[in-house]
Amino acid sequence: MVKVAVLQFPGSNCDLDTLYVLRNVIKLDAELVWHREFKANVYDAVVLPGGFSYGDALRAGVIAAYSPAMKHVKEMAREGKPVLGICNGFQILVEAGILPGALVRNDTLTFICKWVYLRLENNKTVFTWKGKVGQVLAMPIAHNEGKYFNDEKGLKELYENEQVVFRYSNINGEVTPEANPNGSLDNIAGICNVERNVLGLMPHPERAAEVILSPYRTKDGLLIFEAMAEFLRGKGVATSRWS
């Protein structure tokens, strides 16, 4: 049976929510793994949950990015295993250089905690193949450093390689400045690596995976976990679908 790790750092705090969704909603064999005990070869996929690893000292995610556990995450990414970074997990993936760019302080200079709409831009990833391009998903964000940034060349490469996965939009899927909560470049909310097995996003799919959690009675976050689970079970998809 496939096994998924939820990687814990000191200061991770969405680990239990993520584990709950994987175990109880998606019915995957998942376990919490303390960062010092994490080994790549034991797991088929890894989720880096949200939180404030190492108290955001120096920069959000940077200290966790240099922990030995991340060498194992890099190895899994290289092997084509699904790697999902949510919120602080996204920040860690970016600081580790597994995903390109930077996540900096919100334009508002405030912590933002609210539900947003996302437009799915790329359904050729391990985590989004079950969705349609242009589909609008409701999920909450909760971050202080969630403004995605990249230089001109980096942004061009993101589009050329189809690495932009989610953008902040309005309910109609229109990507407008008003729909951009934090000043992210091009409204970018989530990106993947070139091989499309690593996804990082600021919104919290684990907090939007059951109807009871959503003010809109939606469970849009589930799409990401279901796609990953079916990929792991080898159902319905082949890697050729997006390679």
* Window contacting other proteins (CB under 8 A); options: 52-60, 83-91, 98-106, 134-142: 52-60
Kindly report each contact of residues 171-178 with a partner whose C-beta sits within 8 Å and lies 24 or more positions away, as own/partner. 171/117, 171/136, 172/136, 173/117, 173/119, 173/134, 173/135, 173/136, 175/119
State which residue, 92 or 179, has the beta carbon closest to other proteins.
Answer: 92
Q: Which residue has the tokens 């059951």?
A: 210
Query: Closest distance between other proteins and the C-beta of residue 1, in Å?
Result: 34
State which residue, 58 or 194, has the beta carbon closest to other proteins.
Answer: 58
* Annotated catalytic residue within 87, 95, 143, 192: 87
CA dist 47 and 8 (Å) reads 9
Q: Does 117 contact other proteins by CB under 8 A?
A: no
Element at 12 (helix H, strand E): none
State which residue, 54 or 90, has the beta carbon closest to other proteins.
Answer: 54
Q: Does 55 contact other proteins by CB under 8 A?
A: yes
Residues between 56 and 85 that touch other proteins (CB under 8 A): 57-58, 62-63, 66-67
State which residue, 35 or 204, has the beta carbon closest to other proteins.
Answer: 35
Residue 119 identity (one-letter amino acid): R
Catalytic residue status for 206: yes
State which residue, 28 or 65, has the beta carbon closest to other proteins.
Answer: 65
Query: Closest distance between other proteins and the C-beta of residue 114, in Å?
Result: 28
Element at 240 (helix H, strand E): none
Q: Does 113 contact other proteins by CB under 8 A?
A: no
**DSSP-assigned letters across all residues of 38-104:** --GGG-SEEEE--B-GGGG-SSTTHHHHTSTHHHHHHHHHHTT--EEEETHHHHHHHHTTSS-SEEE
Residue 22 identity (one-letter amino acid): L
Query: Closest distance between other proteins and the C-beta of residue 102, in Å?
Result: 17
Q: Nearest Cα to 66, choosing from 103, 35, 43?
A: 35
Alpha-carbon distances of 42 from 36, 67, 232, rounded to whole Å: 14, 18, 14
Q: Does 37 contact other proteins by CB under 8 A?
A: no
Query: Closest distance between other proteins and the C-beta of residue 11, in Å?
Result: 10
Return residues touching other proteins (CB under 8 A). 54-55, 57-58, 62-63, 66-67
Residues with a catalytic annotation lie at 87, 204, 206
